[in-house]
Structure 1
Amino acid sequence: MLKWLYRLMIELTNHAISAKFIAFFTKSRLSAWLIPSYAKVYEINQDEMEKSLRYYKTLQQLFIRKLKADARPIDETPNSIISPVDAVIEEIGTISEQKNIVVKGKTYSISEMLGSEAIAEKYLNGLFIILYLSPSHYHRIHSPISGVITRQWALGKRSYPVNRLGLKYGKKPLSKNYRMITEISDGGKHLAVVKVGAMFVNSIELTHPNEHLIKGQEMAYFSFGSTVVLLFEKDSVKLDSRIVAPMGIKVGERIGYWK
């Protein structure tokens, strides 16, 4: 019953008109009066922001805020893989022979997530990590490794919530929501960074200038909280011993090593 009610409420509200209205409102000066309360409710750390709270004229500007240059030190350990986002690690697991992952008891096809059986094939028996960004988090996405972008593409149109309730009761948001996938290659190994749009606000803006990425370099940003899925090939990565799910993590912190 709870699952049915949750889906019904989302279907009634998640339409183009409501999405456009929310996008319009967050980008308008009308939203500015909400900024102080938003910062207070979500306990945003203003000391690390590049600009003071008074600088932001709309909620959208606050959502996509930049941080001070030293706010997120990047782990420089050779062969390390860093977190691309400030987030909560919601799930860690293995991609099955059937090209599936299980998140909050729900099975997702990575073939559907990536939009390709052939691309999904290379990630069989590899590792996946789910990173959830709440509205309180810093929304910019950074490269987890240094490497070359081999392909980049977008899939999906509508978006459903990707919080805990969304992952548990939603219609497989990780593989059906609007999403932008970036595949990065380094030394013959591949890593897929799946940027999943959130409910109402699908905007994922790319910011990297070319196909070469440096570990810690900004890649893109979300216009609202969302989720990043990392997919690794079999035996290509070793998790850092401190990494568990659930746990909070920030951009630049080490999550593992290339083998």
Structure 2
Amino acid sequence: MFKHVYRLMIELTNGKWTSVILQHFARSRISRFVVPSFAKIYKLNQEEMEKSLHEYPTLHDLFIRTLRKEARNIDKSENAVVSPVDAVIEDVGSINQTSEMIVKGKTYSILEMLGSQETVNKYLQGTYMILYLSPSHYHRIHSPIAGTIVKQWTLGSKSYPVNKMGLKYGVRTLAKNYRMITEVKTANGHIAIVKVGAMFVNSIEKTHKGMTLQKGEEMAYFSFGSTIVLLFQKGTFQLDPSIQTPKDIRIGEKIGVMINQDGGTK
């Protein structure tokens, strides 16, 4: 019963006009009056912000805030893969031969997520990782590893919640929400970085220019809390043994290592 009520609620509150109203308010000057309460409710770490709280003219500016340069340390180890976002690692697992992954007891199609059988074939029997950003998190997205962008594309239109409730009761949220996918070729194989839009706000703004990425380099930002899905080719990624889900993680912290097909690190 609750599942059906929840689905109805998010369908009714996720239309075009509710999105427009929310985005308009967040970008309006009047939204500055809720900036202090937002920071308090979500316990934002003001010491790591590049600006003081009173310097953010709108709620949207606070959402997409930048941090002081020393606020995050990037693991420089050549073989290390790092977290691209401040988030909670909700799940890690294997992509099966039929291009499916099981997240919170629900089955998601990688084919539906990526929209291309040719692209999907690279990730069969590989590894997926789900990183959830709440409204309290820093919303900018950084590259988890050095490499070359092979392709970047967007799919989907509306966005439904991607928090625990959304993953449990929503309908294929990770695979059908508005999403921007960046495929990166590394020295050991391909990684797909899937940036999934959250409820109400579909905005994912690309900030990186060019085709080459350095580890830790900024790629884009979300206009609200959302989710990153990382997909690794079979035999190219080894999860860091310290990671037990759910796990809080910050940009630049090691999540695993890239490995050669023969099992060695690169």
Q: Give me the TM-score of the superposition, normalised by structure 1.
A: 0.99
Equivalent residue for 2:254? 254
The superposition leaves residues 46-79 of structure 1 with CA deviations (integer Å, 9 ceiling, x where unpaired) of 0000011011010000000000001011001121
Equivalent residue for 1:46? 46
The superposition leaves residues 137-180 of structure 1 with CA deviations (integer Å, 9 ceiling, x where unpaired) of 00000000000000000000000000000000001110000000
Q: Secondary structure at the match of 1:167?
A: helix
Q: Distance in 1 between matches of 2:113 and 2:186?
A: 22
Equivalent residue for 1:57? 57
How many angstroms does 1:234 deviate by?
0.5
Show the 5 A alignment for 1:68-147. Answer: 68-147=68-147
* 2:167 counterpart of 1:171: no
Q: How large is the RMSD of aligned CA atoms in angstroms? A: 0.6
Q: Distance in 1 between matches of 2:118 and 2:210?
A: 25
Q: Distance in 2 between matches of 1:14 and 1:189?
A: 37
The one-letter code matched in structure 2 to 1:11 is E
- Whether contact under 8 Å (2:188, 2:236) holds in the other structure is no
Q: Secondary structure at the match of 2:69?
A: coil
How many angstroms does 1:249 deviate by?
0.0
Q: Give me the TM-score of the superposition, normalised by structure 2.
A: 0.97
The one-letter code matched in structure 1 to 2:133 is L
- Whether contact under 8 Å (2:94, 2:127) holds in the other structure is yes
Q: Distance in 2 between matches of 1:155 and 1:244?
A: 31
Runs (5+) with no aligned partner, structure 2: 260-266
Equivalent residue for 2:16? 16
* 2:209 counterpart of 1:209: yes
Provide runs of 4+ in structure 1 moved above 4 Å.
none
Q: Distance in 2 between matches of 1:173 and 1:144?
A: 23
Q: Alignment length, in residue pairs?
A: 259
Show the 5 A alignment for 1:179-258. Answer: 179-187=179-187, 189-258=189-258
How many angstroms does 1:12 deviate by?
1.2
- Whether contact under 8 Å (2:146, 2:186) holds in the other structure is yes
The one-letter code matched in structure 1 to 2:67 is L
How many angstroms does 1:188 deviate by?
5.0
Runs (5+) with no aligned partner, structure 1: none
How many angstroms does 1:13 deviate by?
1.2
Equivalent residue for 1:155? 155
Q: Distance in 1 between matches of 2:64 and 2:206?
A: 12
